[in-house]
Amino acid sequence: MAHPTNILSGKQIVLGVCGSIAAYKVAQLARDLTLAGAQVDVILTAAAARFVGPATFQALTGRPVLDDLWELPEDGVVGHITLGSQADALLIAPATAHTIARIAAGFSDDLLTTTLLATRAPVLLAPAMNPLMYEHPATQANLALLRTRGYHLLEPGVGRMAEHVSGKGRLPEPATIEGELRALLGRTTGPLRGRRLVVTAGPTREPIDPVRYVGNRSSGQMGYAIAAQARDLGAAVTLISGPTALTPPAAVDLIAVETALQMQEAVEHASVGADMLIMNAAVADFRPATAAEQKLKKTPTTHGMTLEMVTNPDIIAGLAHRHDLFKVGFAAETDDLLANAQSKLLRKGLDMIVANDAVTSISQPAITLTIIDREGVVTLDRHPKTEAAAILMAAIVERFQRRLAQQGQ
């Protein structure tokens, strides 16, 4: 089985930090990228050093902080050329209006701007500034120009600013920036770059009345972790999710649904032109035949209630005719796990099915998976769901590429 890929492991990331109060958030980002296995070289502008000192970033990255265009590194190589040519990606956060304007004008009068001109690596900018400055025509024109040059730009957040005003201009949270960087690296070098994936996650809720529903205990953790891993591998990911308390992965398109019928419609629409469907959602097998328009009330004479249930469609089985679509199903079982999963693999026309024990996995942070296809059965050790998703996606990619090779693609 193929080994899972950590898209940040061993990557050389140049992190440019500019003069904004939002620079304090980037310290957490530098730490997170380093802990994920990246080598992070921080370029601190003179203005940024007024907000966060170099000692902070040096302690978090274990690397010397760079801030002087004229200071040669120990090996005597010209610093900005070395940084730019060896980097796997450049990230500018926060990117201020001043720095954006200088980049757009092609300035090369400090270490950050010269490094940007000397690189051919992908560049991601995370703007952060006062809302009036962000909305100014000059800033918007500069951003538009950078897009035409191939720069990748994050949309600022909307909310309260340091100046006690609200609007669009907040630096996105570190987790969002990291997710966008992972997606950018995946689209550059990942094995699924250029591919479109649909992932489903979470439970469905089938309404009994306006306040009650029939549902299940699925937390959505596994499906969300799969979507994040697929993004890291370079795929354009659509995540179709039932109701959960989770924050969707950055750089993933989310479609929120509630019922099985809504999920079926979303999956059928999103799967048009997709390369792969990973059906992890715990879709309710049955739904009430009718949902009451008003809340059902008990009375002193009420002794119980009988619900008439009808069968929900089998969403992935309904796509059995899509031989161009690599289909991965999930089977959460409480008994005869292997036999039930193998039956579903054949009956639903799947390329692979992933079985797990429902009692020990649903709403739990860790999971044991059994991967089944027509070539055999592999049971994985119990792992936290984020790690299990990475191992599973490595196995899926291996089998997907094998099928493409067999088809001569």
Active site residues: 216
Indicate the Cα dihedral angle 122, 123, 126, 130, nearest 10°.
Answer: -150
Structure tokens at 354: 């992933």
The span from the CA of 358 to the CA of 364, in Å, is 10
Cα–Cα dist 173/153, whole Å: 15
**Residues with Cβ < 8 Å from 283, sequence gap 6 or more?**
200, 204, 260, 263, 312, 315
> What CA–CA distances, in Å, run from 215 to 188, 201, 224, 285?
40, 14, 19, 10
102, 19 contact by CB (below 8 A): no
Q: Which residue has the tokens 């989770």?
A: 246
Residues 6+ apart with CB under 8 A from 259: 204, 205, 206, 207, 284, 287
Q: What spatial distance separates the first Cα and last Cα of the chain, rounded to whole Å?
A: 22
Whether 90 and 125 have beta carbons less than 8 Å apart is answered as no
Q: What is the 3-state secondary structure (H, E, C) of 16-82?
A: EECCCCCHHHHHHHHHHHHHCCCEEEEEECCCHHHCCCHHHHHHHHCCCCECCCCCCCCCCCCHHHH
Q: How far apart are CA 230 and CA 211, in angstroms?
A: 35
Q: What is the DSSP letter of 310?
A: E
Tokens of 152: 């990748």
